């Protein structure tokens, strides 16, 4: 069980203080156990040591580096410009990258997945459908970074002792990883249709391909349901089979609830956006299936049964999911499409994004009127006006503070877990996403 003196939910961490509170904080340094993070009101990123230094005692590290060295580097980056945010150099945190062998081994299983699905369709004497679905799967499923699928495999390997790892068990983890990638594919295909997006993963969205159109809706449903055919074929003999099915159903439902809230909120005026509403969208729409699902699948396959271990893991992973989505919101607006693989449309789509919420929290009445006039409009000039307002209010620099301090906060939470899962596994995931650019 977490043993915080006072556990601070991430909602508090990213909530800006009032002007009076900021003034008070500027006059006095408070311990981490009683202070929420304040949102910077200047155009420069101020060093965050006051709020994080109590985390780093002698001998502690950040991202594998001595905390003293990291703090010196942070001081050098105290004024971090937008161009720096858009073009990261190597970040402070030690990067954890998937080896080429891991990626190759994972991809080597993909043809088996496609064959299994094709055989299942052909059992219903639907050869034309089998060919079409194969094309849809090959176009959509393997084209991304495959982080969720690879996370499933790597987590399983890290949870198991070397002597218990067999080629057969690893292949089962790879099948689960591809099931996660298929679920991700289902979500983004539907999301692209609802958002009328143009590109995804560096190519046309599936529904924008000339001979596809709205057939993509049914294709997405078929890809989702093919997950359960894979599970039945390869896991029905295992004790964890029911747990796997229930987990996929639960996370799919939670994610669609988050998607619904996202769509409903995007039909409202930007002045109604709040951080609480944003957090609900993020946790449900992104965090569960991006972080908790791959991790929990690996835990089930590895034989974990301790409910407290699952609970503690979920707490950490949902915090990472919120961290990840805030990054995604920033990249949608200020990222390089050549790196991210997509052209951001959050402003045009009236999305309740972290940038919009922080902007509205910090804006005066005239600036709020600008947001109300320009946000959610498919007009290039108005989109640029919103981005300019973000910069005027220092939102990109606030993001830099948020990213670094959230990394430190989550790292502290990881170090205070006590059941089942080694801290190093969580830290590897956190270090991988810290200061990402795509």
Q: What is the pLDDT of residues 252-310, one digit of tens each?
A: 999 999 999 998 998 899 999 999 999 999 999 999 999 999 999 999 999 999 999 99
CATH number, position 111: 1.10.600.10
The answer as to whether 85 is a domain residue is no
What mean pLDDT value characterizes the chain? 81
pLDDT band at 66 (very low <50, low <70, confident <90, very high): low
pLDDT of 78 > 90? The answer is no
H/E element holding 115?
helix 100-122
Token reading at 202: 């560096």
Q: What does the pLDDT read at residue 43?
A: 37
CB 273 within 8 A of CB 262: no
Q: What percent of the chain has pLDDT over 70?
A: 77
Q: What does the pLDDT read at residue 420?
A: 79
The whole-model pTM stands at: 0.76
Q: What does the pLDDT read at residue 255?
A: 97
Annotate 171-187 with DSSP letters as a single string.
Answer: HHHHHHHHHHHHHHHHH
Lowest mean per-residue pLDDT among 16-30, 35-49, 70-84, 86-100: 35-49
The answer as to whether 260 is a domain residue is yes
The answer as to whether 312 is a domain residue is yes
Region for residue 32 given its phi and psi (left: phi exceeds 0; alpha: psi -120 to 50; beta: otherwise): alpha
Q: What does the pLDDT read at residue 230?
A: 98
pLDDT of 32 > 80? The answer is no
Q: What does the pLDDT read at residue 417?
A: 86
pLDDT of 86 > 60? The answer is no
The residues that are catalytic are: 145, 186, 191, 195, 200, 262, 285, 324, 328-329
Q: What is the pLDDT of residues 385-425, one digit of tens each?
A: 999 999 999 999 999 999 999 999 999 999 988 787 899 99
pLDDT band at 436 (very low <50, low <70, confident <90, very high): low
The answer as to whether 11 is a domain residue is no
pLDDT band at 19 (very low <50, low <70, confident <90, very high): very low
Average pLDDT over residues 228-247: 98
DSSP state of 273: -
Q: What does the pLDDT read at residue 7?
A: 37
Query: Cα separation of 65 and 431, whole Å?
Result: 12
The answer as to whether 38 is a domain residue is no
Q: What does the pLDDT read at residue 22?
A: 38
Domain coverage including residue 270: 100-433
DSSP state of 92: S
pLDDT of 3 > 60? The answer is no
Query: Cα separation of 392 and 363, whole Å?
Result: 10
pLDDT of 107 > 60? The answer is yes
The answer as to whether 201 is a domain residue is yes
* Number of domains making up the chain: 1
Query: Cα separation of 293 and 216, whole Å?
Result: 25
pLDDT of 49 > 50? The answer is no
The answer as to whether 12 is a domain residue is no
pLDDT band at 58 (very low <50, low <70, confident <90, very high): very low
pLDDT band at 97 (very low <50, low <70, confident <90, very high): low
Token reading at 8: 């601070």
3 state DSSP class of 199? strand
Q: What does the pLDDT read at residue 5?
A: 30
202 vs 122, more confident: 122
The answer as to whether 66 is a domain residue is no
Residues whose CB falls within 8 Å of the CB of residue 250, separated by 6 or more in sequence, listed in order = none
pLDDT band at 88 (very low <50, low <70, confident <90, very high): very low
Q: What is the pLDDT of residues 331-386, one digit of tens each?
A: 999 988 878 777 788 999 899 999 999 999 999 999 999 999 999 999 999 999 99
Q: What does the pLDDT read at residue 306?
A: 93
**The residue to which tokens 């993070």 are assigned:** 37
CB 293 within 8 A of CB 148: yes
């Amino acid at each position: 069980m977490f043993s915080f003196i006072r556990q601070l939910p991430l909602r508090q961490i990213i909530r800006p203080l009032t002007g009076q509170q900021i003034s008070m904080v500027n006059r006095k340094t408070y311990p981490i156990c009683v202070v929420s993070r304040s949102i910077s009101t200047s155009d420069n990123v101020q060093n965050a040591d006051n709020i994080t230094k109590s985390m780093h005692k002698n001998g502690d590290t950040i991202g594998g580096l001595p905390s003293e060295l990291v703090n010196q580097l942070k001081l050098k980056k105290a004024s971090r410009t937008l161009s720096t945010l858009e073009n990261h150099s190597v970040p402070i945190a030690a990067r954890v990258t998937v080896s080429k062998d891991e990626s190759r081994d994972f991809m080597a299983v993909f043809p088996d997945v496609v064959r299994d699905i094709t055989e299942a369709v052909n059992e219903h004497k639907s050869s034309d459908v089998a060919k079409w679905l194969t094309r849809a799967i090959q176009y959509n499923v393997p084209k991304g970074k495959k982080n969720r699928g690879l996370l499933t495999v790597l987590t399983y390997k890290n949870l198991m002792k070397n002597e218990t790892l067999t080629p057969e068990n690893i292949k089962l983890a790879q099948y689960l990883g591809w099931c996660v990638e298929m679920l991700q594919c289902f979500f983004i295909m539907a999301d692209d249709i609802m958002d009328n997006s143009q590109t995804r993963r560096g190519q046309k969205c599936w529904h924008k391909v000339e001979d596809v159109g709205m057939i993509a809706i049914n294709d997405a449903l078929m890809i989702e349901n093919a997950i359960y055919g894979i599970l039945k074929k390869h896991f029905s003999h295992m004790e964890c089979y029911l747990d796997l099915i229930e987990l996929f159903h639960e996370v799919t439902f939670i994610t669609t609830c988050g998607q619904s809230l996202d769509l409903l909120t995007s039909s409202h005026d930007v002045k109604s956006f709040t951080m609480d509403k944003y957090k609900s969208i993020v946790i449900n729409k992104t965090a569960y299936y991006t972080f908790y699902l791959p991790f929990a699948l690996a835990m089930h396959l590895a034989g974990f049964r301790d409910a407290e271990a699952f609970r503690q893991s979920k707490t950490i992973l949902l915090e990472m999911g919120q961290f990840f989505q805030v990054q995604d919101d920033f990249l949608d607006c200020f990222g390089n499409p050549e790196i991210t693989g997509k052209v951001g449309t959050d402003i045009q789509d009236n999305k309740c994004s972290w940038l919009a919420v922080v902007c509205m929290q910090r804006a005066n009445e005239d600036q709020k009127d600008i947001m109300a006039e320009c946000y959610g409009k498919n007009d290039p000039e108005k989109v640029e006006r919103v981005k300019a307002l973000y910069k005027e209010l220092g939102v990109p620099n606030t993001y830099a503070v948020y990213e670094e301090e959230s990394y430190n906060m989550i790292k502290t939470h990881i170090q205070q877990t006590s059941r089942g899962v080694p801290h190093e596994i969580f830290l590897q995931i956190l270090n991988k996403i810290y200061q990402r650019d795509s």
